[in-house]
Amino acid sequence: MSNNKPFALLVVPDDEPPVLSGTPYEDRARALAENVEWHFDRPLDNDETVARMQNAEAVINIRSSVQFTREVLAACPALKILSVWGTGVDHVDLTAAEELGITVSNTPAYGAPYVSEHALTLALAVSRQIVINDQHIRSGGWTRGFINELYGKTLGVVGTGAIGRRMIQLGKGIGMRVVAWTVHPSPERAAEYDVEFLSLDDLLRQSDVVSLHVALTEITRGLIGRAQFDLMKDTAILVNTSRGLAVDEDALIDALENGRIAGAALDVFQAEPLAPGHRLTQLENVVLSPHAGGMAYNGTMRGLEMSVENLESFAAGSPIYVVAQGSRR
């Protein structure tokens, strides 16, 4: 191959809105391939995804809304490496990737300080009624009522990956009692994380704030539904900065409308972007943000760098951050 570039074709199928384009890491990515195709909109369906990447040897995936199903991957016979910007890979069929010989790498943990900070900010925004009071002042009001503090309250952290562990530290930092749930608790992990593990039911019963930090798996899909809301305090707040499908959205809306829980703070949704006029946008006891928890500048730059490092390390024969080990080289 001329210029000794490791890949014949690199495709970025979904840089919309652009985050990788225009950074120093774009130049590093382009330097890896003889040809580069960069798309600044998202494919409308799987057929369009295939059309964009069917000849690619390397792909950098920016948006988790793009699905890499078995059918999509099977239609890409040249694909060697798929680099996912982000920790979550629930939109990639990892089993199919391995069977087809495709290596998949992600960018783990880069966003832990930023997503956890965002989760705490959202919890405070609801408990301190920041948005409601801001809107009240802008409309000419100045009525002050009691607001709720988090100091001395119980924070339930659901999921103890890098983000969840950082959330444990933040909760303790503002004087909260912190308990946690994980799929695989152990005394050793409890000691390492300095946290008390509870069953999910007990965590929900005891917590004033429930903060979700789970990857989307068969276990965590729909993890919080009607039965779980029925266990929560009617003064509790649900915070979700993980995956929208971890929560039954209809059950959440019913719980919010009926006063089953006091409020919610959401950075992720079942379908993104959130549709105009969605029922969640009509509720005063909800604070919304546009899947922005990991979008702190420094964190974003590090994650983008890692997404390119995945290709560089693969080309050097030593893949990193591998979540599916392929055989194509």
Element (H, E) at 9: strand 7-12
User: What pLDDT, on a 0 to 100 scale, did the predictor assign at position 1?
Assistant: 45
| Residues 203/179, Cβ–Cβ less than 8 Å | yes
Nearest to 207, CA basis, from 172, 231, 242, 225: 231
To the query of whether residue 71 is one of the catalytic residues in this protein, the response is no
Query: 73-79: which pairs have CB atoms within 8 A and are 24 or more residues apart?
Result: 73/97, 73/100, 73/102, 74/100, 75/50, 76/50, 76/102, 78/8, 78/9, 79/53, 79/328
Domain ranges of the chain: 2-110+297-324, 112-288
Strand order in the sheet with 209-212: 196-197, 177-181, 154-158, 209-212, 237-240, 263-266, 286-288
Q: Which two tokens stand for residue 311?
A: 């290709």
| Catalytic, out of 243, 249, 305, 312 | 243
- Would residue 52 show up in a list of annotated catalytic residues for this protein? no
**Cα(273)–Cα(250) distance, rounded to whole angstroms?**
17
Q: Provide the phi-psi class of 4: left if phi over 0, else alpha when psi is between -120 and 50, else beta.
A: left
Is-contact 229 251, C-beta < 8 A? yes
Q: Domain 2-110+297-324 maps to which CATH number in 3.30.750.200, 3.30.360.10, 3.30.70.260, 3.40.50.720?
A: 3.40.50.720
Considering 192, 257, 272, 284, which one is annotated as catalytic?
A: 272
Same fold, 2-110+297-324 and 112-288: yes
* 243 is a catalytic site residue: yes
Q: Look up residue 327 and give its two tokens.
A: 């055989």
**How confident is the model over 232-244, as pLDDT tens digits?**
999 999 999 999 9
| Catalytic residue selected from 63, 165, 166, 291 | 291
Cα(224)–Cα(220) distance, integer angstroms: 8
Q: What distance in Å separates the CA atoms of residue 122 and residue 238, rounded to the nearest whole number? A: 10
Enumerate residues 6+ apart whose C-beta is below 8 A from 300. Answer: 19, 294
Q: Residues 228, 207: contact at Cβ < 8 Å?
A: no
**Is CATH 3.40.50.410 the classification given to domain 112-288?**
no
Low-confidence ranges of the chain (pLDDT < 70): 1-3
